[in-house]
Amino acid sequence: MDQAQQQLAVRLMRSREAGGGDNRVARNVIMLMGDGLSITTLTAARILKGQHAGCSGEEAQLAVEQFPYSGLCKTYCTDSQTADSACAATACLTGIKTNYGSIGQSAQGVKVESILDWAQHADKATGIVTTTRLTDASPASGYAHVQRRSQELDIARQLIEDAPGRHLDVILGGGLGKFASERSDGRDLLKQWRASNPDGCFASTLSELRNCGATNGSLFGVFSDNHMAYHLAASKDQPRLRDMTEAAIQRLEQQPQGYFVFIEGGRIDHGHHETRAGYALDEMLELDAAIEVAVHLTNPNETLIIVTADHSHTLSMAGYANRGTAILGLDPSQRDLDGIPYSTLNYAIGKWQSLNKAGKRENPAPHLSKTSFTPSYIHARGVHSGEDVAVFALGPQSHLFSGVMEQNLLPHLMAYAACVGHGATICEPSP
């Protein structure tokens, strides 16, 4: 915490020396996270977006490319060179780095507050939106405190019974089983939530979510027993991330003191773990659409929007493919030393090596599709990678998010802009 405050002070000094004069306070803060959103994923998704529009693709733009400031975050954990979502999201939401697999506590096991707590103490509305289970590592880092991310039944209990979870105004995502059918302690957490929120609205489908728009109470939506389905495999009555983003912002805008909301495109990571780049890129485009909704529904003079990732993945984009080559395919002119074509996208580690029965690499082209495995080098389940991830910022104090920074600095910067938390803020520069 002290190190992050010192890093904030250095950024403020540099901003003053450069003549920076942004005096705007962020009434609202929206943090959008692409789980596993590596820089290669951003580039490949941009090309796919353009190719969906009938263009060659490379010249397309993602929503974040309109943001005026960007930087890089260092994602390592206290005990791990490469992060998992638990320690990385804890850094993004609580302001401290912690051990691999830990949520909402320090490396010594001390519980820490999150920016959701800070916002609630300032009488702001708060919300969590995700396409994963609500008890998965990234969303849980905003409200839970556990040594191991696998303790999801206790995480679900904390969401409903403990602060800050029980005070959330919006909760949207998947993982219904953790609240009811998978429990052995006799608790029906959905029933508890309804009892605690008599004016609230519960939704399990897109149509029910839309019907909740007429209510002023808390909003709780759980749209699947496990993670929400990939967009490419989802039914029409499963809300898309942009639908949940719109519902969340419209509900939170009712709070005169403003709000903080965490919105996660969580299944980018799952597509990468399966080493199916088509799923990962499509989930990134779902996040892109949600970012567009957030920008459209808010005023950039009073809403700070941050887009980042928790960690990276081993996807690479290699070779010298011709302009307009299908990003999920290959340019047949790009071949290895044996004359075998290789795909533009590959993973360092993954499930499919495109080998024939003799163990020799073969042309992957006949097997490539938007849902197929993507070729990889080492045979194993897809894993994270440890390089820096991008951060993009729009709105009040967004200039502070440029350059290279420790990942746990992010919530301190957001708190500074929104005048919440226990450190320096634009309202009170000297805590």
Query: Which residues fall in the annotated binding site?
Result: 35, 136, 138, 264, 269, 273, 310-311, 384
Residues in the chain: 431
Q: Is 369 exposed, middle or buried (0-12, 13-18, 19+ CB in 10 A)?
A: exposed
The separation between CA 225 and the C-alpha centre of its own chain, rounded to angstroms, equals 20
d(CA 175, CA 224): 6
Q: Which of 38, 56, 80, 85 is catalytic?
A: 85
User: Which amino acids are annotated as binding site for Mg(2+), given as ranges?
Assistant: 35, 136, 138, 264
Whether 277 and 315 have beta carbons less than 8 Å apart is answered as yes
Residue 222, SS3 per DSSP: strand
Residue 261 φ then ψ, to 5°: -135, 135
Q: What is the maximal distance between C-alpha atoms in the chain?
A: 68
Give the bridge partners for 127, in sequence order. 170, 261
Pairing of strands 312-313, 384-385: antiparallel
- On the CB side of 189, CA atoms within 13 Å amount to 27
Please identify which residue in the block is written with the tokens 């002119």.
333
User: Which amino acids are annotated as binding site for Zn(2+), given as ranges?
Assistant: 35, 269, 273, 310-311, 384
Sheet holding 201-203, edge to edge: 201-203, 219-222, 170-174, 125-133, 259-265, 28-34, 303-309, 389-394, 69-74, 403-406
Pairing of strands 312-313, 303-309: unpaired
d(CA 328, CA 370): 7
Q: Please give the full DSSP string across 314-381, using - where no structure is assigned.
A: -EEE-S-PPTT--TTS--TT-B-TTS-B--SEEEEEES---B-TTS-B---GGG--TTSPPPEEEESS
- Give the DSSP H or E segment for 296: helix 277-297
Residue 184 catalytic? no
Give the bridge partners for 403, in sequence order. 71
Two structure tokens written together for 343 = 């795909």
d(CA 195, CA 170): 16
Angle between helices 277-297 and 39-52 (to 10 degrees): 80
Q: Which residues are catalytic?
A: 85
